[in-house]
Each structure stands twice: as structure tokens, then as C-alpha cells.
Amino acid sequence: MMERRLLREPEQGWTAKLWQISWGYVLLLCLLAAVGYVALYAAGNGPDAYANRQALRFAVALGLMLAIALIDIRLIARLAWPLYGVGLALLVLVLRYGHVGKGAQRWLEIGGLQLQPSELMKIFLVLALAHWFHRAAWERVGNPLFLLPPALAILLPMALILKEPNLGTALITGMVGASVLLAAGVRLWKFALLAVLAGIAAPLAYHHLHDYQRARITTFLHPETDPLGAGYNIIQSKIALGSGGLWGAGFQQVSQSQLNLLPERQTDFIFTILAEQFGLVGGVCVIALLGMIVLGGFAVALRCTHPFGRLVALGIATNFCLYALVNIAMVMGAIPVGGVPLPLVSHGGSAMLTTMIGFGILMSVHVHRDVEFPDQRD
């Protein structure tokens, strides 16, 4: 194993690294972005409202992703904790100076652009946790004192994100962090204990939720009790999903968009636009494409020879998977509405930028999958 790694150790030029990029994986990302363009074209009744801006964002983000893919993963590892510190600082800044929209303070205005630091924080958290665990022996991972710093590293951004408030992103941040801990070898019984404690604390936590968050839970359980108020979005979403039938009503044949029946159709409920146009078959194809991207990320983790890259690839793929699962389950009424976008499909620059930064780091893991880390164990 050592000999095989050392054969790949000499530094390669950027041209050689470009050939190492998984272009098939890049194609999958471009296909998903194309699906998003079609959905946003219909949501805006033409290309000018949402689709063209999203295409331009993707082109810029794709270039950024490829640039990040060429950066040595060992340099990214050295920057893991400084980036985590930057993420925390941005979360603190957003609470003090952030833009307020729809009852939440989640965005920073930077040069005319709106940035959502909680999205970046999930990527930086994955890097920090991977750096903490990548040289840890099995015995150390079982030591509660060794697990205290990474636990705090997860809880601190969760607390800041909850204060915005952004319950959905805070929970996803916690689950992404937990996935890295699980992959690093933290025992299952510790997660089971946390689940029991969370179940016990849930009734108390419910009473500390904001009014709109409690309304979302109530609406999830009984949407028909307020069909023109809190339950309106999910009822209209289900109507759109059902009206698509097996094959769909056809491109741009979307009553929810044309009649403005479904709010946030270009962001949170974009999957309903796809399902109404292309039916069950189209929806399943989109889910299959999302699944291929997730499995591709897990494949990068499996092929990587160093623990840091494996943990980073798994964490980034898990983050993408959770966002896709939560968004689709939300629009189907399987879970409460939480304001979670569908990656690379929903309209929004901040989500696009952070998603592609994550995939750039994932590609860096793939390109540098056989490099030797200092003091790396075999």
C-alpha cells in the first residue's frame, strides 16, 4: 500500500490534475443544474425571472469548483480549523449585522451579494471534524474526553444558527456532524443515548420554539385545519404533485405557477413544479439523478487512501443527501415545511455557491486520493 501511494506522491501540474478530475461526476452536476434551469423556466413563465440568473450563477460556481479541485487536499486540511473559525465569525456577524427577511436574520450583504453563512459553516465543520479524527487511533475515538472538542464544535454553530432562527439548517448541521463522527468510529451506543435524551427533551424544546415553528409542526399534522393560512402551501404542493399524474401535464403546463397558487415555488417548492410538468416518471428520474450524485460522493470516500479525505467526502455527500431528502419529503408533506432548498435546482445564489464549493473540495479529495499525509498511518 505504501509503495503504491508513494508512486503517486510527486507533485503534478495543473494540467495533469485536470485529467484526474472525475468528468463523469461533473456531468452529473451539470445535468442536475439543467433540470433546475427547466424547472425555473416554468416557475418564472420564461427564462428572465429566475432561469437565466441561475444559469449564470452555475457557470461561475462551476469554474470555482474546478479551481478548488486543483488545490492540494493537504493544504485544505491545514486550513480546516482556520476556516471553521471564519465560519463562526460569520455566524456571529450575521446575528449582529445580518439582513432580515421573512422573520429571520440569516444573510450577510457582501458587495451587493447576499451570503448565508450557515451554508458555508456546514462545509467548514466537515473539514474541522475530519482534521480532528484523521490521525486518531480507535482507542482514542472511544475516549469521552477526546470526543468533547468535536461535540462542542458541532453544538456551537448549531446554537448560533438556531438563534437566527433557522431550525432546519441547524438540525442538518447536527446530522452532518454526527455522520462524520459515526464514520470516524464513534460507537453506536453513544448516538442511541443521545437519541433517547433528545426524545426526553423534545417536549420542553417544543415550548421554546418560535410561534411560526410550532405552527409548521401543527400544520404538518393537520394541514386541513387552516387551508387558507398555515396549511396553504403544503395543500397546494400536494395538489400540484397529484395533478402531474404518471407522465405529467407537459413543459410549462403548470397551473401552480401560471396562477400563482404556490408561494416560494422557485425555491422551497421547486420539486412540485418538476412533478407537475413531468409527472411521477420525471420526479423519479430527478430523484435517481440526485441519488447518483450522492453515491458518487460515497464512492470518492471509498477510493480515498487517507482518512481525512474519506471523512471529508462522506460529510459533503451526506450534507447534499440530507438537503435533497428534506426538501423532497417536505414538499410531499412527509415532514414539516422547513425552508430547505433543493441543491442546484432551487433558485438562490448562496446555496449554489456553497454547494459547488463543497463539490470542489470533494473533487480535490478525488484528485489527491493517494497522496501521503505527514505522519500518516498505514
378: in domain: no
3: in domain: no
Round to whole Å and give the CA distance between 333 and 146. Answer: 40
pLDDT at 373: 83
pLDDT at 362: 97
206: in domain: yes
> Which residues have CB under 8 Å from 186's CB, separation 6+?
141, 147
Q: What is the dihedral of CA 167, 169, 174, 180, to 10 degrees?
A: 170
pLDDT at 219: 61
pTM of the entire predicted model? 0.89
**Which cell numbers hold the place of 123?**
462545509
Which residue, 307, 318, 298, 370, is CA-closest to 140? 307
Give the chain's residues under pLDDT 50: 1-10, 377-378
Helix axes 117-133, 349-367, angle to 10 degrees: 20
> Which residues have CB under 8 Å from 234's CB, separation 6+?
219, 220, 223, 331, 333, 337
- Give the range of the structural domain holding residue 308, as residue numbers without chain letter: 11-367
Per-residue DSSP letters for 245-286? Answer: TTT-S-TT--HHHHTT-STTTTTTTHHHHHHHHHHHHHHHHH
Round to whole Å and give the CA distance between 157 and 118. Answer: 8
Strand order of the β-sheet with 113-115 is: 99-101, 104-110, 113-115
pLDDT at 209: 66
pLDDT at 15: 83
**Spatial contact of 274 and 353, defined as CB atoms under 8 Å apart:** no
pLDDT at 377: 44
Domain count within the chain: 1
CA–CA–CA angle 344, 346, 349 (5° rounding):
75
**Spatial contact of 345 and 51, defined as CB atoms under 8 Å apart:** no
Round to whole Å and give the CA distance between 260 and 328. Answer: 21
318: in domain: yes
